[in-house]
Structure 1
Amino acid sequence: MEHVSKTYYYISTFRTATHRKQLQAVGATDDNTVIERFHGKIPEREEYQRLKNHWLKPGDTLVIYDLEALGGKRSARQELQYYREHDIHVKIVNIPTTTIDHLDNPEISNMILDTVISTLDYVISHEIERTKKHQTQGVDRIRDKPAWNNYGRPQIQLPANYDEVMQRWTRGDITAAAAMGLTGLSRTTFYRLAHQYKNGGIGV
């Protein structure tokens, strides 16, 4: 039996009454609307998962008010890509170009959805770059400060005999290998701490 295309509307109780009215204005009724109800806990979006995985079929249409109905930007991008690959049309009320039917040329609808996906890709990429830039700026601000010596490294508990051993080593009484053995420090840690010790960066 040939599948008859259907249109479903998805909304959550987190959305405002205004959004619900706008969905009703474009055809939402009690019979074709899936409502996600939350009860003060982290939403698992069970109704949405049921709609996506069991009800929506190729050729159907999903209508939402905005991309937030699909989650955050990354989640929305993944969901839109899923619907694109499964030939499910998505109409987003606050993106009017997606709500226009192109029955004579369905590829136009696909092109519009591709544009939305590409825009999300750009926004996500921009946010990643901005985060990296802020992190780099933060590192640059402490690069010339004493805190830089310990940046990104866990604080090391100095051995109780560290000062005594370092004095003997700096006087030339013992070798570096002997100092490492007495303090129990690895070669890398020993020389890193030794550099700080000689420059007054470690108070013992």
Structure 2
Amino acid sequence: MEKRKFGYARVSSTSQNLDRQIMVLKKYVAEENIVVDKKSGKDLEREGYLALKGPMGLRKGDTLYVVSLDRLSRNKKNITSEIKWFQEKGIDLRILDLPTTMADFPEEQKWIKEMINNILIEVLGSFAEQERITIRKRQQAGIEAAKKKGKYLGRPVIAKPDNYDEVMVRWKAKEISSVEARKLLGGVKKNTFYRWVKEEK
């Protein structure tokens, strides 16, 4: 059976760019064999990655290239389980910034490669998880600081127009429909209109 080569690239959000990872992976893998995801590394529920592990994806003897270990996951437990899965399935995992995974060992010395890689991956997995925890703490600290300063993170609050009270009186008296009320209020969206109604209650 022919041994195939695949690449996997991941960024955490749709606003981030995959170009750098793809450019590096193309040195080892045909571009059409590079699978990508734009999703957090906190878990393994990613469409591209799950497809790689599915029935039509990786099989024994194949090689998977990733730029760095944290592209697989930032969760240490998941990293450990995934490395074990690759080993059990006979898939050669090559991490570009981990030189020992890129080296070819004679068959009788492969156990040495696995031993070294397992130690390094254990350490790097801890770093990846700690970085994820640190990022979350920074984000939370930023949110708390913004709240204390009175800044609103997320969707901006839509100000009620000057004729709001007058229009709402007419709507509550059933003189006008909600569609007409929204038009008179400057064409606000339905969810905004009913949020205002809920706030009044």
TM-score, normalised via structure 1 length: 0.49
Inter-partner Cα distance in structure 2 for 1:25 and 1:123? 24
The answer for the alignment partner of 1:11 in structure 2 is 9
Could you tell me how far 1:100 is from its partner in structure 2?
2.3
TM-aligned CA deviation for residue 93 of structure 1: 0.3
Q: Which amino acid aligns with 2:48?
A: E
How far did residue 13 of structure 1 move? 3.9
C-alpha distance in structure 2 between counterparts of 1:94 and 1:124, whole Å: 13
Structure 2 equivalent of residue 69 of structure 1:
71
Structure of higher CA gyration radius: 1
Q: Is 1:25 the counterpart of 2:32 in the alignment?
A: no
Change (3 A) 1:69 1:109: farther
Task: Say which is worse superposed, 107-116 or 55-64, in terms of deviation.
Answer: 107-116
Deviation at 1:17, TM superposition (A): 3.2
**Aligned-residue offset at 1:86:** 1.4
Contact 1:12–1:69 (Cα < 8 Å) also in 2: yes
The answer for unaligned runs of 5 or more in structure 2 is 128-201
Q: Aligned pair count? A: 120
Residue number in structure 2 paired with 1:177: none
Is contact 1:7–1:61 with CA below 8 Å preserved after alignment? yes
Establish whether residue 93 from structure 1 lines up as the match of residue 91 from structure 2.
Answer: no
Q: CA 1:108–1:31 in 2, change beyond 3 Å: closer, same or farther?
A: farther
Contact 1:34 1:47 in 2 (8 A): yes
Q: Distance in 2 between matches of 1:16 and 1:119?
A: 26
SS in 1 for 2:31: coil
Distance 2:102 2:77 in 1: 22
TM-score by length of 2: 0.50
SS, match of residue 5 in structure 1: coil
Show the counterpart of 1:36: 37
Deviation at 1:109? 4.4
Between the aligned residues of both structures, percent identity stands at: 24
1:70 shift after superposition: 1.5
* CA-CA distance at 1:5 after TM superposition: 1.1
1:79 aligns with 2:82: yes
RMSD: 3.1
CA 5–43 in structure 1, closer or farther in 2 if over 3 Å, else same: closer
In 2, the alpha carbon distance for the partners of 1:66 and 1:49 equals 18
8 A contact 1:98–1:109 mirrored in 2: no
- Offset at residue 106 of structure 1 (A): 3.3
**What residue ranges of structure 1 are gaps of 5+ in the alignment?**
127-204
Aligned to 2:136: none
String of CA shifts for 1:138-196, please: whole Å, max 9, x gaps: xxxxxxxxxxxxxxxxxxxxxxxxxxxxxxxxxxxxxxxxxxxxxxxxxxxxxxxxxxx
